[in-house]
């Protein structure tokens, strides 16, 4: 990686597309994936569809509960919190 890049000829918004949708990639813990695989097989669905169904149902439940009765489960876990860039390890070299 270079220390500096020359953006003097760059074109702002060159790849911007109004209305484009971003597809979010989510990585599951291996244990969670193992637990979801049988559900997906039994329903003839992919794990992604099962995860979407679960999240939709959970979100619907949370929105119907009054705020005082909502579980505090939407806070990021310690594992999910990112370290500041200065404390992260550099990526492993690829060969």
The H helix count followed by the E strand count for the chain is: 2, 0
- What is the distance in angstroms between the CA of the first residue and the CA of the last residue of the chain? 15
The reported pTM is 0.51
Query: For 19-67, what is each residue's pLDDT tens digit?
Result: 999 888 989 999 999 999 999 999 999 999 999 999 999 999 888 877 7
With bands split at pLDDT 50, 70 and 90, how would you rate the model's confidence at 80?
low
Residues 6+ apart with CB under 8 A from 46: 40
CA distance 41 to 33: 12
CB atoms within 10 A of CB 36: 17
Answer with the residue of higher pLDDT: 27 or 74: 27
Spatial separation of the C-alpha atoms in residues 52 and 26, rounded to whole Å: 11
């Amino acid at each position: 990686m270079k220390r500096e890049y020359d953006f003097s000829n760059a074109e702002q918004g060159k790849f911007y597309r109004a209305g484009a949708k971003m597809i979010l990639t989510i990585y599951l813990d291996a244990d969670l994936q193992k637990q979801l695989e049988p559900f997906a097989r039994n329903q003839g669905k992919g794990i992604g569809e099962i995860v979407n169904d679960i999240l939709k149902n959970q979100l619907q439940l949370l929105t119907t509960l009054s705020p005082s009765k909502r579980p505090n489960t939407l806070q990021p876990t310690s594992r999910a919190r990112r370290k500041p860039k200065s404390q992260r390890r550099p990526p492993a070299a690829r060969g």
